[in-house]
Structure 1
Amino acid sequence: MIDEILPRGVVTAEAFGEELSHAELFPEEEQVIARSVDKRRHEFTAGRACARRALAGLGVPPAPLLPGERGAPRWPAGIVGSITHCAGYRAAAVARASEVTAVGIDAEPHDLLPDGVLDQIATPGELTLLPELRAAAPKVCWDRLLFSAKESIYKVWFPVAGRWLGFEDAVVTPDPDAGVFTARLLVPAPPPLAGTLHGRWMVRDGLALTTITILF
């Protein structure tokens, strides 16, 4: 499903429900989640299983995928990627670093954000735009899609910039008809990220999905 909003060269794998939640982990990965609650263990396990399936599509053999700085997966040399998980869904997307600078994916339940969250993640301009989006496509939970887009933005930002990016540091403008969005960064950015980023979105089967791919 998520492969539909990613370009050629990016390989994906996804799991639904509890699929892959009990897949085998490497001993090093087991140590990472040794004290985790079941929910976290299942998310971590299925996410890593999806990532290894996607890597196999690039001919990369199985290997431990340990968390790096701020929890981002440490990918094998020459690989970039992203993992996402939410209730009932896990996915991974990977690509060769010689073809793609960074890829970010995010999945969220297609439902309204909890009370108070929107004001914490949206800029004034985004709050002004939301009524227009709701009028254009009332069946889309635009607040949740905005949150998802900002998660995808961070996932391409951090591996390249190596520093934090807040929700308030990017202005997202979705196109309600074309299934795309733009993201204008409000902080200085390294050249691959400078200016406006372009992403894609999809709502299907109770999920809100967003992706951003930074190509060379």
Structure 2
Amino acid sequence: MQIFHTLLPESIRVVETRSELDHGQRYWQEEQYVATAVESRQQEFRTVRICAREALADFGYGDHVLVPDAHRAPVWPANIVGSMTHCPGMRAAAVASSSQFGGIGIDAEPHEVLPPEAVELILLPAEQQAVAQLAAEDPSIAWDKLIFSAKESVFKTWFPLARKWLDFLECEITIDQQARTFSAHLLRTDTLHQGVDLSQITGTWMAEGSVGQGLLATAITVRSN
């Protein structure tokens, strides 16, 4: 199943893989960032960038060097917006023209519940109540981890536009179980950045398998004004 092809509009170029890739040119500018990392970390870093370059090739940037900036965010070509994600079992990149989209955020996570010690750091009280209700209706989905993934996608959309950090507790997620969408309400006053209003953001989600199996994935697109 091609998860992000399903979650994102057709006009967005998506490349995803369930296995590691090791073809194409290696760039020392990228490799230096993981030179001392374990081999598995080097491989996921390399694979997701291969995905990104394959996606960028449709826009004429198939040899773009994707180095992280000072905040560890990938530096895309000037007229491109994009997002990358990697977790066990998934490497993916999504890119689009900035003339169409102001931002993209994608995230994939193992389909597992959040560790108990992380819940209050990530979920607002209202979200914790929503998780309890959703779990009572459908215990096959790790709703708390799904909200975590949604917030990760929100951050990946927010940061390239705002260039400011966004705390987990500054974003309230509401899940629509039937439509498989979510909305994000940002609990800040500074939500207008580069002409894009980020106070309310909507996205889509998918649960693959049941808890303990497969992946959870979320995706956001924000149109350009």
State whether TM-score is above 0.5.
yes
Query: Any stretches of 5+ residues in structure 1 without a counterpart?
Result: none
Displacement of 1:24 in angstroms is: 4.1
For residues 125-161 of structure 1, give each alpha carbon's deviation from its aligned partner in whole angstroms, at most 9, with x where no partner exists: 1011111111232211101101100000000000001
Moved over 3 A (4+): 21-24
Q: How does 1:49-64 map to 2 (within 5 A)?
A: 49-64=50-65
Q: What is the match of residue 110 of structure 2?
A: 109
Q: Partners of 2:23 and 2:116 in 1: how far apart?
A: 33
| Correspondence for 1:129 | 130
Identity across matched positions, percent: 42
Distance 2:149 2:24 in 1: 27
**Match of residue 203 from structure 1:** 207
Of the structure 1 ranges 26-35 and 145-154, higher mean CA displacement relative to structure 2 is found in 26-35
Q: How far, CA to CA, are the matches of 1:8 and 1:66 in structure 2?
A: 27
Q: Which residue of 1 aligns with 2:11?
A: 9
Deviation at 1:39, TM superposition (A): 2.4
| Mapped partners of 1:85, 1:21: distance in 2 | 15
Query: What letter is aligned with 1:210?
Result: T
CA distance in 2, matches of 1:202, 1:118: 21
Residues of 2 paired with 1:22 and 1:89: CA distance? Answer: 17
Counterpart of 2:160, as a letter, is P
Identify which range, 48-57 or 24-33, moves more after superposition.
24-33
RMSD between aligned alpha carbons?
A: 1.5
What are the equivalent positions in structure 2 for 1:8-157 lying under 5 Å apart?
Answer: 8-17=10-19, 19-20=20-21, 24-157=25-158
Counterpart amino acid of residue 12 in structure 2:
V
Q: Deviations over 1:137-194 (max 9, x none)?
A: 2211101101100000000000001101000000000111111000000012115233
Q: Is it true that 1:214 corresponds to 2:222 in the alignment?
A: yes
User: CA 1:39–1:22 in structure 2 vs 1: closer, same or farther (change >3 Å)?
Assistant: farther
Deviation at 1:15, TM superposition (A): 1.1
User: Within 1, Cα distance between the matches of 2:51 and 2:85?
Assistant: 10
Q: Which structure 2 residue ranges, 5 or more long, are not aligned? A: none
- Residue correspondences, number: 215
How far off is 1:21 after superposition?
5.2
